Structure 1
Amino acid sequence: MGERANPPDGGNIEPVGLKAALEERYLAYALSTIMHRALPDARDGLKPVHRRILYGMRLLRLDPGTAFRKCAKIVGDVMGSFHPHGNQAIYDALVRLAQDFAQRYPLVDGQGNFGNIDGDNAAAERYTEARMTDVARLMLDGIDEDAVDFRPNYDGTTEEPAVMPAAFPNLLANGSTGIAVGMATSIPPHNAAELIEAALHLIDHPDATTDTLLTFVKGPDFPTGGVIIDPPSVIADAYATGRGGFRLRARWHKEETGRGSYVVVVTEIPYSIPKSRLVEKIADLLNEKKLPLLADVRDESAEDVRLVLEPRTRTVDAELMMASLFKLTELETRFPLNMNVLVGGQVPKIVSLGEALREWLDHRREVLVRRSRFRLGQIEHRLEVLGGYLVAYLNLDEVIRIIREEDEPKPVLMATFELTDVQAEAILNMRLRSLRKLEEFEIRKEHDGLTEEKAGIEALLASDVKQWKTIAWQLKEVHRQFGPDTEIGRRRTGFGESAAHDADAVSEALVEREPITVVVSQKGWIRALKGHVADLSGLGFKSDDALKIAFFAETTSKLLVFATNGRFYTLDASRLPGGRGHGEPLRLSIDLEQEGDVVDVFPYQGGRRLLVVAKEGRGFVVPEDEVLGTTRKGKQVLGVDAQEACAVVPAAGDTVAVIGENRKLLLFPLSQVPEMVRGRGVRLQRYKDGALSDIKVFTLADGLTWTDTSARTWTVTDLAEWQGDRATAGRLPPKGFPRNNRFG
């Protein structure tokens, strides 16, 4: 065992609260992530890693049209000079900038395997090569002319740009996604030509509303195409607030294959969905019999996407089949919009469409002013030099004599001809071969040209109107390059409406239609046996449980559960547990309180009328379509207080037969019971004490039928002595009526 390490004596030990230290350090980490990693700058739409890649490529002179260079060289230079975060992170970002299915306007022109829409990775950086695209050149245009601020790199050995000049609306054109600490960003790609048209309108009308700008920018324009199915109001709201989302669907069409049969061909899939994963998911759903309308899926893609979907039969409705696929697969996705960007490179803020364009335009103006001032400085320097050259030309022999004979010719030249330091330096640095070019005419011509240019720049810097006019001209040049009539500028994503299908038809299209037998036990356990099983004598139950209800249905059926709390719950038969075990408690599927119990379970048929009754003898008729619930909480129909709901029967007939626990039978016309959607109902039979035992609706002309405990059926047609009005007491039932007071 070594000695225990003790702190050195006399050292300054400063106690720091753990909470304060953690807060301070975590805040520093959060700010670093927000500022230097995850959120794009509103001005150039780039994150630091992308900006550094482009600048590194600029230093390597990888302009469009030049020779490609190995990506390993680019990544190494960027990592060594600007981005000390591991080569894989840099290479992944570089690859994404080159993928035409990930970037609407790629910034990198790649040669080699840069991955594909199936989700396969790019080859290693030593095998791939890259150079910049025209878009990247526009992003860097003017960077050597003091257009933007530079800051020291991570080790202070060189400098890197804080933002790009960005002559291209990259933030919205290519979009951006990122997750920082406590905030995220998600901006879809857009059409550059539309963005520029909106920006030109914004120059002329600075107070333009989002709705006005949306006449130019219709919505996102994804590199992989697809169809946006949101209504214009939803799109407008998203762009006005900077938050929202877009529902994006695959583009498809029918292809006739002869003899009345067809296939559906998907030619464009939603953005950022790997095609192989999509096909895999559809195949899995086919195997699980979740897509009964679909027979087969094939991927016949080559350069273009081509997914072939074969319907089960030629009579299948293509729209309905696609609706079921859109519901279950990533053929329909939602792309979130969260325009959270760094405004001024400093402040994270959620911006609207207009604010995003405004940030870019203001940046373009700043770039224009800085480039103009830089050019002005160059012109002034050149004019000064030309003035010196003119003096040298007019006094050439004297200048040569001074240079030959004087030990320090510079101060003598300056004193003799009243030259500035710059002029004297320029004359001394002139090569002998340049003397033949030294002609007064040429010097004066260049001087006049530069003087004119200088006047133009000074006028530009003095006038806001001229500045915006110049910016508009620059934008129109970019628009010409990426206009709707160019291959890259043509809009790819369309707009449409989701076809309105009956919800039942779609849900049926998701389930294979098969017969089942639903079994509910007395303790409330439910299961579905395959097929229509008539003999249930062999069914097993838990030791203290037994059969309560059993009926035939189909996997596409909806089941209605009526509980003692007066609520109706709706279940999908396709989601019931199988019949191999004891099933599952109904309470797993519905929110039924502990003291509540199931009164009845039956298949929903639609269009019927139901009579619902409480123990105390109150009840009313409710249309079956009104009791369908969409949530686990169900739908409150019968209001119950101290008593609980005890029966629900189809209201098919003209007469109600009700028998109480006091063994009194009463018959009265069904027309005396009101039809309601919800409520407490009206009294059906009066009791001194006791409650309702059973109820039935029947047709009086057919007689009253019941089944006794020995399973014999009795029918009585002479019922005059039991007939009366609703809410009376009734009389003892006919001979042969079961002792359990049930109609059976």
Structure 2
Amino acid sequence: MSTKTSDPANAGQIRETRLADALSERYLAYAMSTIMSRSLPDVRDGLKPVHRRLLYAMRQLKLNPEQGFKKCARVVGDVIGKYHPHGDQSVYDALVRLAQDFAVRYPLVDGQGNFGNIDGDNAAAMRYTEARMTAVAAALMDGLDEDAVDFRPTYDGEEQEPVVMPAAFPNLLANGAAGIAVGMATNIPPHNVGELCAGLIKLIDKPETSIAELVRCVPGPDFPTGGVLVEPHENILEAYATGRGSFRLRAKWEVEKLSHGLYQVVITEIPYQVQKAKLVERIADLMVAKKLPLLNDVRDESTDIIRLVLEPRTRAVEPEHLMEMLFKNTELEIRFGLNMNVLDGDNTPRVMNLREVLRAFLAHRQEVLIRRSNHRLAKINHRLEVLEGYLVAYLNLDEVIRIIRFEDEPKNALMKAFDLTEVQADAILNMRLRSLRKLEEMEIKNEHAKLTEEKEGLEALLASETLRWEKIRDEIEIMRENFGKKTAIGKRRTEIGDAPEEIEVPLEALIEREPITVICSKMGWIRALKGHVADISDLKFKDGDEHRFAIKGFTTDKLLILSTAGRCYTMSCDKLPGGRGHGEPIRLSIDLPQEHDIVSMVVHKDGRNLLVASSGGRGFQVAEKDVVAQTKNGKQVLNLGAGEVAKIFVPVEKNHVAVLGDNRKLLIYPVDEVPEMTRGRGVILQKYRQGGLSDLILFNLEEGLSWTMGGSEGRVRTVTELAEWTGKRAGAGRMPPNGFPRSNKFE
């Protein structure tokens, strides 16, 4: 690759350069320019070059807080013409943000006109809006004319601009910063100035103060839009100790009671940098997508005060459950990152912790104080020199007048006659005649005495580091008085809350509770009919298929299904296919092998037990919560012997169990004799010489044992005298009462 050199001495020469080397050199220059001159703030004044130039241009235009406004177009024109040769829109955008009280914790620009809003609407064009500096911006530039900081030539060399502001305000942490450079980024949240002042004073009083002690003074960010900080204290401490981390921020909400037991949730503060209009739009989109089942409606009733109204679907919905769902799915909860990557006093980018940032600010204030004191001392020395010359002139007034009237070179004559310096001689020659009054002489003597006293104080200040820190401490106290928590702008806006406990939103709360009737056919096709259907005789099934199970429940229920392999599966009733058509094969929802079939299905009820039994006559009670499966593969509950299958799966809601064997022997005993287990083969329910378990039901002894008679009439017979068949578990039993069905089944 051939490149032309930019050195004027070598102009026109062509130098052979490898493409990789040329790209590397140019990209490095671009990266450094982005890091140093665009994206990262200075730790001393917390400003990027564009913001610093904006404020300096406004100062040059005398847009002080107590004076009038000027068009923003005038400010932007001066900035891009004199200091910052970039696009006018980007400069105006930077100015607008400095004026937005919802974007900047302590605005640096006082805007007049439309400067945008929290909904995300843009500001009016710069020709319509006006601006001036705020008291905070004035504090940042306090001492700029007193040699407090270095100046450098502007890009065209025609003017000078400050390298950094004197910064009598901890702007970096107070207003925060965000920027993306090449290979690095910064993200600093805003903080409360009153708390920062407390931390600074603590560092002055005790330089070895730990991060933990500083965090007691600065407990966390203070965002302009408020909200509630719910990050655990140990995480906040870790973030400030390393300079990296994140903060969990939630919207602030309250419950408003309405008539008839109804209520609505009102959001009064939203997280920082969240656009309200987009937030409402996001919530509405989730409602349309049915991902917020607890929410019925959202309304924006905001004026200049935020008021988002959330209407729950029913009065039974808990406000905490509603908000937990919104926090998880919307920007009502955000994580704001902390990455305190800044340019230090040597213009080196690095990540600082909280103590290092505060110390860097104090070190800058120390340097500014020394420079301002030296500047003032030089001014005082010059003035004292002039005043001493005036006093000489008053003491020898007639001779001074004679020399001025008659000498050809009065300046040299004065210097020679009274041993004056050139400065003193010039001052005497430039003195007005009206200053020759006797009163003026007294004023000069008084001024000389005051300046002498001030000079002694400045010399003592410059000689003593202790006095300088006392002076800086007084300045910080004044800053706290002007911008601290007792002022309107200084009150903490973001509430420091406790880390929230994880709220488990119950399934019933997420799903609208509607009655259904679950239908499962003999071939395993399942569907859910709306409502509790009493008559299912008209239902149609596939050819060769027929009805097997009909269970009434609700969409919020879970369905427990036991297979012949002793494995329990769980299905959510809200996910069952609808009642139109024949439904879907149940094997699409659960991993039920083809060689196994469904034994029974029941609606899950928490706190209840189930009785499971195998064809071999063994079984046990199991808590329903222990059989609920989380996967399609189910959970093994009943272990089976050789040749056995699971046969019984019934809720334990009665006090006695009736067991019927293949040998047509009936045994009755209290259900409490069947122990509770979590998994296994179980205990012997009934002994058999041949065969196994035919049927089992649970019933209340005082109500008698009932069974369905044979025939088309479906008559039910109940026997209350059951002492003959009542015994102990694992007994053989006796033949059932006369008239018991030949099918050897209770139903």
Tell me the residue number matched to 1:731.
none
Q: Is the 8 A contact 1:297 1:309 kept in 2?
A: yes
Kept in 2, the 8 Å contact 1:30–1:180? The answer is yes
- Higher mean C-alpha displacement, 340-349 vs 631-640: 631-640
Stretch deviating more after TM superposition (442-451 or 368-377): 442-451
Amino acid across the alignment from 1:213: L
1:117-196 alignment, distance < 5 Å:
117-196=118-197
1:70-469 equivalence runs, <5 A: 70-230=71-231, 232-242=233-243, 243-254=245-256, 263-285=264-286, 296-310=297-311, 315-316=315-316, 319-320=319-320, 322-323=322-323, 326-327=326-327, 330=330, 332-344=332-344, 346-390=347-391, 394=396, 396-397=400-401, 400=404, 404-405=408-409, 419=420, 423-424=421-422, 427-428=425-426, 432=430, 434-437=432-435, 441-469=442-470
**Contact kept in structure 2, 1:402 and 1:413, CA below 8 Å:** no
TM-superposed deviation, 1:344: 1.2
Following superposition, the deviation at residue 254 of structure 1 comes to 2.0
Larger mean Cα displacement after TM superposition, 444-453 or 573-582:
573-582
Work out whether residues 228 and 249 of structure 1, in 8 Å CA contact, stay in contact via their aligned partners in 2. no
**Alpha-carbon distance in structure 1 between the residues aligned to 2:502 and 2:3:** 76
- Alpha-carbon contact 2:414-2:425 (below 8 Å) kept: no
Amino acid across the alignment from 1:77: D
1:434 maps to a residue whose letter is R
Question: Once the 2 structures are TM-superposed, how far is the Cα of residue 737 of structure 1 from its aligned partner?
Answer: 7.5
Contact kept in structure 1, 2:189 and 2:338, CA below 8 Å: no
1:535/1:431 CA distance change after superposition, 3 Å: farther
Partner of 2:735: none
* Partner-residue secondary structure (3-state), 1:404: coil
| 1:15 partner letter | R
Which amino acid in the other structure matches residue 246 of structure 1? R
Contact kept? 1:551, 1:602, Cα under 8 Å: yes
Cα distance change on mapping 1:536 and 1:209 into 2, 3 Å? farther
Q: How far is 1:131 from its partner?
A: 0.4
SS in 2 for 1:223: coil
Structure 2 residue runs of 5 or longer lacking an equivalent are: 5-12, 686-691, 733-739
- 1:435, CA displacement in angstroms? 4.8
DSSP-derived class of the 2:138 partner: helix
Q: Note the C-alpha offset of 1:338.
A: 0.8
Distance in 2 separating the partners of 1:569 and 1:24: 65
State the 1:303 CA deviation: 3.0
The DSSP-based 3-state class of the residue aligned with 2:110 is strand
How far the C-alpha of 1:43 sits from its partner, in A, is: 2.6
- Matches of 1:22 and 1:593, distance apart in 2: 62
How far did 1:585 drift?
10
Shift of 1:58: 1.5
Letter in 2 for 1:14: T
Contact kept? 2:229, 2:250, Cα under 8 Å: yes
Shift in Å at residue 82 of structure 1?
2.8
| AA at the equivalent of 1:248 | R
How much has 1:125 moved relative to structure 2? 0.9
| Contact 2:2 2:15 survives alignment (8 Å) | no
Match of 2:608 in 1: 608
Partner of 1:301: helix, strand, or coil? coil
Alignment deviations for residues 640-662 of structure 1 (CA, whole Å, 9 cap, x no partner): 99x999899456377798999xx
Q: Deviations 1:16-38 (Å, cap 9, x if unpaired)?
A: 44xx6666655555544444333
Residues 534-557 of structure 1, C-alpha deviations (whole Å, 9 max, x = no match): 86998899x9x9999986553333
Aligned match of 1:555: 555
How many residues are matched?
714
Shift of 1:611: 6.8
SS in 1 for 2:217: coil
1:525-540 equivalence runs, <5 A: 531=531
Q: Calculate percent identity across the aligned residue pairs.
A: 48
Measure the CA separation in 2 of the matches of 1:563 and 1:443.
110
Q: What is the deviation of 1:607?
A: 1.6
Displacement of 1:188 in angstroms is: 3.0
1:106-142, Cα deviation, whole Å (9 max, x unpaired): 1110000111222221111111000001111111111
C-alpha distance in 2 between matches for 1:244 and 1:564: 52
- Distance across 2 between alignment mates of 1:647 and 1:21: 81
Rounded Cα–Cα distance in structure 2 between residues aligned with 1:510 and 1:261: 19
Cα distance, 1:565–1:253 mapped onto 2, change above 3 Å: same
Looking at structure 2, the residues matched to 713 and 344 of structure 1 have their Cα atoms a distance apart, in angstroms, of: 93
In the TM superposition, what is the alpha-carbon distance from 1:454 to its structure 2 partner?
2.0
Q: Partner residue of 2:16?
A: 13
The match for 1:478 is: 479
CA contact (8 A) 2:522 2:547 kept: yes
Seen in structure 2, the aligned counterparts of structure 1 residues 30 and 585 have a Cα distance that, compared at 3 Å, is farther
Distance 1:519 1:339, change over 3 A: farther
Q: Structure 1 CA distance, aligned partners of 2:40 and 2:658?
A: 70
CA distance in 2, matches of 1:470, 1:139: 17
Q: Which runs of 5+ in 1 are unaligned?
A: 686-691, 729-733
Separation in 2, partners of 1:430, 1:703: 130
Task: Confirm or deny: 8 A CA contact 2:185 2:341 kept in the other structure.
Answer: no
Question: In structure 2, the residue corresponding to 1:130 is in which secondary structure?
Answer: strand
**Normalising by structure 2, what TM-score?**
0.74
Gap change, CA 1:144 and 1:11, over 3 Å in 2: closer
1:367 to 1:568, Cα distance in 2 relative to 1, 3 A: farther
Summarize deviations over 1:441-489 as a string: whole Å, max 9, x none: 4444333322322221121122222112111111111111123332222
Q: Name the CA distance, whole Å, in 1 between partners of 2:43 and 2:659.
A: 75
Change in CA separation of 1:456 and 1:561 when aligned onto 2, cut-off 3 Å: farther
Partners in 2 of 1:640 and 1:399 — Cα distance?
A: 127
Asked if 2 retains the 8 angstrom alpha-carbon contact of 1:188 and 1:335, the reply is no
Q: What are the equivalent positions in structure 2 for 1:476-515 lying under 5 Å apart?
A: 476-496=477-497, 503-505=504-506, 507-515=507-515
- Once the two structures are TM-superposed, the CA of residue 297 in structure 1 deviates from its matched residue by 4.0
Alpha-carbon distance between aligned partners in 1 of 2:490 and 2:3, rounded to the nearest angstrom: 68
Amino acid of the structure 1 residue aligned with 2:508: E
For residues 597 and 51 of structure 1, what CA distance do their matches in structure 2 show? 77
CA contact (8 A) 2:296 2:312 kept: yes
CA distance in 2, matches of 1:484, 1:552: 62
Deviations 1:275-297 (A, max 9, x none): 33333444455556666665544
Larger Rg: 2
Q: Is the 8 A contact 2:340 2:353 kept in 1?
A: no
C-alpha separation in 1, matches of 2:246 and 2:406: 76
TM-score (ref. length: structure 1): 0.75
Alpha-carbon spacing, 1:355–1:14, altered in 2? closer, same or farther (3 Å): closer
Pair 1:448–1:498, CA change in 2 (3 A)? closer
Letter in 2 for 1:396: V
Give the direction of change, closer, same or farther, for the CA distance of 1:502–1:12 in structure 2 (3 Å limit). Answer: closer
Is the contact between residue 294 and residue 322 of structure 2 (CA under 8 Å) also seen in structure 1?
no
CA distance in 2, matches of 1:203, 1:266: 41
Letter in 2 for 1:277: K
- Residue of structure 2 in register with 1:689 after alignment: none
Per the alignment, residue 623 of structure 2 pairs with 623
User: In structure 2, do the counterparts of structure 1 residues 235 and 7 end up closer, same or farther at CA, with 3 Å as the change threshold?
Assistant: closer
Counterparts in 2 of 1:310 and 1:697: CA distance versus 1, 3 Å: same
CA contact (8 A) 2:321 2:505 kept: no
